[in-house]
Chains A and B, each alone.
Chain A
Amino acid sequence: MDIELATFDKKILDVTTFEKISLSDIVFDDVIASLFSSANPIAGMRTTSHSLENGTRLYNLLALQSPIICYRFRKGYRALTGAFTLTTLHHGQASLLLEADAQIPVFVLQKKPTESLKKAIALFSLTNDLLSKCFISDAKKIGFYIRAWFQKDEGKKSLFQSAEWSALFPNIDTAEKLASHLSISKTELFRRG
């Protein structure tokens, strides 16, 4: 896993193209859908429904700033990252701020990644926001998302030693380390709401 992700990261510039595709051609990948259905990151945010209306209208800039990475599937595309961007674009289309046949800039992976790679890409984007950029600051919620998104491998003491986690955060292998990384207390992190 470690190696696979590392190799993928090394080669990614060669196998990725930057394209303009039609917004209606792209859908969310099953991996993102299942991550969102187990723990929806939008629920953790303070913003309410109106955030989309009050938010940006600079759709092209947005698509470049938080890009969508996708791969070809049959005749269309499936998005692996950029769920928030894509939602905003969809909202823009529904509220007539974007044309019905709007073109959006995306990064297209030339080959379809494997199942585990797909999950790693999606998780990397989400956990990076969660733990490094800290778009959610409530310790209890951070704990909830991590528990929902990562599976504890069998035989391992905690999910921090699972393959999925250690591929993304190899140096954080215990709850204590995560707690100190976030500068919160461990009990807070694992209190179940």
Chain B
Amino acid sequence: MNDISEQSLSTIFEGISDELLTTIAKLLEMIDCPSDFRGLRRALATVEYLLSLYPSRITLLFGIDIDVLKKSISTIHYCEHKYSAEFSRDSHGRGWKSERPIYSLLFIFSNNRTSHAAAALLLFLEHYLNNENKIVGQNRAEESVRAFRMLFFDESTRDECFREGSLGRTINNIFAMKERLKNEGNENLLPRSQLGYLYQLEHFYRLDWAPRGSHERKSAKQIRGHYSRKRYERITGSDNLVTPSLNTQRLPRIYEDAGVTKSEDLPDVTIIKSLSLPPPLEPFEEASTSVVKDSAVHWFKTKKVNIDIRRCHNLLPTSRTILQPHELKILLHSLTNTSTGAIGGITKNLIKAVLLIVLITARDLFSVLSIKRASTQKDIGFYFDGSKILLNVAPEPTTLSPINNDLLLPVSSVVSIALPNHLVTHLSPFFSDTFIEHVQQKKPIEWQNAIQRYLKNLNRKSNIQISLTRIEHHLINWISANESYDPVLLDILAEKIRYQSRSARHYAYYTENEINDELHSLWDMIFAETPRNQTKVNASSSLNTHGDLETKSGVGSAFTPKLDALSTWLKEKAANLLSSAPFQVSSSLEELVNYHNTYTLYTIIMLKSGTGYRAVYNPLPSLDLALLRYQSICISDKDSKTLFNHTRVVACPDILKSQIMHYQAHIKAFANLIAVNFSHFAQQYFTHSSHIQHLKLTSKTERLEQFLSIKNSSGTDGMFLFFTERDEHANNINKEVKNSSPAFLNTRFPFPLNFGRHYMRRYLQKNNIHQELIKFQLGHWMTGETALEKYSELNHMDAIHALLPTLNSMMDELGWRDIPSLLTRKRA
């Protein structure tokens, strides 16, 4: 930028007193005049108009005496000089709006010299010039001027926003207008650009660009908005409690591509509605209240924990809803014996075969009866090749459209599951060509009757109570009670989506081999009649049975990265970080910023990989949330400022812990190095790394406020800032500082950003981590589960210590290493 100095002015305006020259220089500096005077006539016209209306305020603002000011303006106007042609040009210069916003504003307002405009403009100018350092330091000059210009020239906003002459009232007007626009009318028809300008201008006048959250409760209307007005559904785990169903949640496309799922989360509050009681009777119709209206009975009916087999919750392995060992043994014995006969026209052996399939596939009877026969090996349905029976299933895909990315594990739509070996011998006689036809000869209702009769007979003989429902739900409830197997396995096996695996389903990935191994180990655990020590033999033999199955692709999560692809990426980055010398990367700004960006990206990806952060907003907005003393990190992804439903404490692997400490040292050194070039951000980093920044928080409210504001990752920039450049036009390069939002990270990182959660879920599952710990790390608790509270035996420290060895080995296997920043090394 070519500045105007007195020296250059003295060559333009010859023969003018020094005092006048000084004033002119000061005036032109104030209005940011370009050195060739282009368009100055118009800009000055605006200044003159302001001066004529508000002489004292202008004098104060420019710090120039009124007479001298008038004299210097007339001097500029009437003095002949070499720039006269440019001086009176009427076209707006290129790039002024971003480079000289104030000058551009004065130029534009020369066409709008009304008293109303003058009042608004002067208020704006005063505020801008008096607080220029702060506004320009935070890079808000251009957007503020734009917001002012757009709102003023918009007829619909002009009067409402700018009718007052004082700063406080203008702010109030802008705020009121913003609130009115936000609350009125249809959400789809909101004037979004107008709202954006109103926000920007309000921030400008308040000089406060941090998003302010309010602590007011959500209005009933807002809460109600999450739920349907027509559809109702029963709350899982209760008999009579009903809640309106959730409306379909919208998730921005960018999150969906990153592998975030919308079904994973419920909104903040659930509205509970009991089934309505019967209409009140007339007094004379009422029976004796002491007998009928028993509040205890009413309470029991509405609040009791459900014990229905299909809906039960909070199960223990001894629960009645699970077939107990003796019942299971009797049932299996009966299903596998070879007695003949027929019930209701159906061969007994066929009934037994169907029941066996219901039991081991956790499907209901009707779904089993409708299984087709697969004609080829990759068709859906039963495939029988003489020695083994394959059940080909096609679980519902987890994404709308298939993802084609070589870095991710491939997903196939159909997967073959081999039924357990020792049971196949009992089924195979019926799996000739005609099994399906046999089954489908009878209507489902006839099947149901026949099975009821069969079970009734069995119950009577053995003095037990087994129902078809108990058989159908045995596997599901067993898994839910033991929590040692992944509930997603049954989703895939039964091709049915259930509530329990709602969130996990999106993240689980199994290759064909793995799902067969898992299911066989599950089946062996439950159904093998042999004692434990022989189970292993069975397991290994079952491995052999599907050795020829395809291993390349699997089912489930579409966003799980390949191990080698991920570790190649990170090794490349690590090598990149280690290849330079400390002095080289810190000596010039360009190198410094490049190194910082690479280092930040490496750290942030390690953070996502090591904790299972959701890929939304900015991860780890403050170092205060890294509870390194406890080897843990407090995560609050997807939360708004006042809510805590995604806030949780998770384990932090050793490598990540030391990397965060390195990063802490890094930002200190980095802040010191950028103090001159990016003052504002250096201050921000100084604050982040300061240990005593909380000393000023003396009251409880202040401390809570502070926690709420740093917790909210969408409202704070955080520590992971990237320093980038943007080509404005021609040769003007604009420096931009961006926070680590998904939109930005997507441009720097080839994997879907939610890769960390997907990879971690699969790794933990493969290492047989207890389901409760997986939920702990990923934040997948279901509503109603009281994890880590005073009624639970699990506490944070135990959970973290149980998880750490596995997480550490996961990080090692991926090849992560903690890299100290070169900026903190000796710069030799």
Interface size class of B (residues with CB under 8 A): 35 or more
Chain A positions 20-71 with a Cβ under 8 Å from a chain B Cβ: 24-28, 30, 32-33, 36-40, 42-46, 48-53
Q: Is A142 an interface residue (CB 8 A)?
A: no
Select from chain A the residue with minimum beta-carbon distance to B665: A49
B672 near A148 with CB under 8 A, answer no
Query: Which of A91-99, A101-109, A157-165 participates in binding chain B?
Result: A91-99
B347 adjacent to chain A (CB < 8 Å): no
| Assembled-state Cα–Cα distance A136/B823 (Å) | 17
Say whether B132 faces chain A, with CB atoms less than 8 Å apart: yes
Report the interface size for chain A: residues with CB under 8 A from the other chain. 46
Q: Does B275 contact A (CB under 8 A)?
A: no
Residues of chain B from 1 to 55 with CB closer than 8 A to chain A in the complex: 1, 3, 5-7, 22, 25, 29-30
What is the minimal beta-carbon distance from B502 to any residue of chain A, in angstroms? 45
Bound Cα distance from A30 to B88, whole angstroms: 30
Question: Which residues from 654 to 706 on chain B have a C-beta closer than 8 Å to any C-beta of chain A?
Answer: 665-666, 668-673, 675-677, 679, 682-684, 686-687, 690, 692-693, 695-696
Q: Whole-angstrom distance from the CB of B689 to the nearest CB of chain A?
A: 8
Q: In the bound complex, what is the Cα–Cα distance between A115 and B2 (angstroms)? A: 9
- Interface check A186, CB cutoff 8 A: no
Residue of A nearest to B131 (CB): A75
Do A90 and B133 contact each other (CB < 8 Å), given the known contacts A43-B673, A74-B29, A112-B5?
no
Q: Shortest distance in angstroms between B207's beta carbon and chain A's nearest beta carbon?
A: 11
User: What chain B residues lie within 8 Å of A46 (beta carbons)?
Assistant: 826-827
Please state if B586 and A43 are interface contacts (CB–CB under 8 Å): yes
Complex Cα gap A83–B581 (Å): 25
Pick from A28, A52, A53, A148: contact of B679, CB under 8 Å? A28
CA distance A91 to B668 in the complex (A): 10
In the complex, chain B residues whose CB is within 8 Å of the CB of A36: 589, 676-677
Check if A8 is an interface residue, CB within 8 A of chain B: no
Query: Which residue of chain A is the closest to B102 with respect to CB atoms?
Result: A74
| CA gap between A93 and B683 in the complex, in Å | 8
| Contacts A46-B827, A96-B692, A193-B581; A33 near B132 (Cβ below 8 A) | no
> Is there contact, CB below 8 Å, between B588 and A76?
no
Would you call A135 an interface residue if the criterion is a C-beta within 8 Å of the partner chain's C-beta atoms? no
The reply to whether the CB of B631 lies closer than 8 angstroms to some CB of chain A is no
In Å, the complex CA distance between A25 and B581 comes to 37
CB–CB A112/B25 < 8 A? yes
Q: Are B693 and A90 in contact (CB under 8 A)?
A: no
Residue A144 CB within 8 A of the other chain:
yes
Q: Does A114 contact B (CB under 8 A)?
A: yes
Which applies to chain B's interface (DSSP): helix, strand, loop or mixed? Answer: helix
- CB pair A42–B672 under 8 Å, yes or no, is yes
Q: A37-B589, A38-B589 are in contact. Are A111 and B129 (CB under 8 A)?
A: no
> Would B679 and A51 count as touching, CB distance under 8 A?
no
Q: How many Å from the CB of B827 to the closest CB on chain A?
A: 6
Q: How distant is the Cα of A83 from the Cα of B673 in the complex, in angstroms?
A: 11
CB-based contact A91/B686 at 8 Å: yes
B592/A90 in contact, CB under 8 A:
no
Q: Are B132 and A44 in contact (CB under 8 A)?
A: no
Would you give the shortest CB distance from A102 to chain B, in whole angstroms?
13
Decide if A148 touches B675 in the complex (CB within 8 Å): no
Known: A42-B672, A75-B129. A95 touches B686 (CB 8 A): yes
Report whether B683 and A43 are in contact in the complex, using a CB–CB cutoff of 8 Å: no
Q: B672–A87 contact, CB under 8 A?
A: yes
Contact indicator B588/A38 (Cβ below 8 Å): yes
Query: What are 24 contact pairs spanning A and B, CB under 8 A?
Result: A27-B679, A28-B676, A33-B676, A33-B677, A38-B589, A40-B673, A42-B675, A43-B673, A48-B665, A48-B826, A49-B669, A49-B823, A52-B668, A52-B672, A52-B686, A74-B132, A87-B676, A90-B679, A90-B682, A93-B683, A94-B686, A114-B5, A115-B5, A144-B587
Apart from A49-B671, A94-B686, 7 more pairs, CB < 8 Å: A40-B592, A49-B668, A53-B668, A76-B133, A90-B679, A90-B686, A96-B695
- Interfacial residues, chain B to chain A (CB-CB below 8 A): 1, 3, 5-7, 22, 25, 29-30, 63, 129-130, 132-134, 137, 581, 583-584, 586-590, 592, 665-666, 668-673, 675-677, 679, 682-684, 686-687, 690, 692-693, 695-696, 823-828
